[in-house]
Structure 1
């Protein structure tokens, strides 16, 4: 009796010292016509391996290789189930010791899913939470990949399946994003989904039915002015194209979304200085964008609006420049005095400057000055001889009186000499070359012109009587 107890305990200790086997299946998802390889991995040299399903009604015995190849249909018959189904497979092994087959501990299960044909999934949307769900109508334990497609066949995204709380079905969740799903030109989408096993992506289900999703209207931003001073105020208004009631609007500047300004009225009133502080003083020209929310759903961003902030100094300089530019550019003529000696002046000598702006061109004026000067020299010589003879015949006591009369007569009718021989000097004013002047000195020139008009075209006669 003691000997029998010792042998049993020794066998139990040997069994416990052995490591548990591990069963592996590849692939874990198959069709009925495809094949799966089942392996019972051990760390020792074994005599026999045994495979069984969860029911343990049918054990498959294999030699020491511990490998088993079965089709999907054979697996289904082995487990006495129908497709689609997931079957758990276990294994253990035995080692012969002193004529006794000692069994090992049993492995943890490995699951094989047999799918004959995949059924069409169901797609749905939860508008309150913006979640699109692709439900897989299979009670299997395999992992799946769901693909969401748009109406034009474009792949929108892919998601890995999750088991439901009851564990009976799987589904894929896609969290709707306005920016991913909608664009400025497309505000309506039709979506469908398909699924396939994660380890066998070539096995694909049919497409689900389609659902239609509509996005929020595009945000639209307007500003009361595009150029303002630092002390001026600009009104910003964020609206939508369909007059939808909005909860909150958000304004941000220069694409800095982390520095946004919320507004429940969707309007902002800011001065130029406040906008400069908001932008961090980076530039005088800023870009402002807005978007709004409805039931915590954000809309697409509006087109940017540019606001330029000008300083008062630059504005005054711009205004002054505009005023100067608007004034007509005129010219003024400075006079050069020439002194000629002659006795009489004929009335045909033209005046040096007439009232009003000159109408002669530069070349004409120069030619006019040269001709006038030449004639003045010739006439001065002739008249000097005549006046010298005339004044020699007069009395010296009448020299002063006659000289005064000659001055008055010279201013009215030209020049006539009636006294003894004296030398008369005629000072005339001849216009110089006309030059354009700027608006800054126009007023001063116009004031000076009034004084010059009194002296222009005036001939001053100075008669000198020589002493006998």
Structure 2
């Protein structure tokens, strides 16, 4: 009877996944698709994403979509911000589950909401005239509210994004009386999963009231 041979352990190293983010630059209201690309020859059980080194992202799907607002909420940041992600996958081999090494680190840049543009028609009015104010917001953004901002007294008022006001209403809102120069800007807010984000101020417009 021959003696027993030596026992050797064999370590199998799983191929490294590749992480892609599309697009890599977004605003708070945009979404980004993250894809943990795994080898086609490997029977992958789950994929896992880590945000900023420790936070888990979503479920175990290798392809996920997440908004900029959610990423900011996860990491406790405010835009503009950079969020770094990595991913790995697991494979079940018999009763054991083995994990791959991490992918390379990918970055997502999150910028503030796009700036609106304010247009006003006409620019010269009397108190009995009406003026149309249009706070133009990006068509891709689910706007929650538009707000008109008075530069003189630094106050905001919720309005429709396309709003018609009389000269008298403008005077009352800005606490002025004719003749006057009324300087206005606008901004908008977006609500996502209970979180309100606001855009930067638009260009300013001066209305002459005579």
TM-score, structure 1 normalization: 0.24
Task: Kindly indicate whether structure 1 or structure 2 has the higher relative contact order, using CA contacts under 8 Å at least 6 residues apart.
Answer: 2
Q: Compute the TM-score of the two structures, normalised by the length of structure 2.
A: 0.50
Which structure dedicates a bigger proportion of its chain to strand?
2
Larger Rg: 1
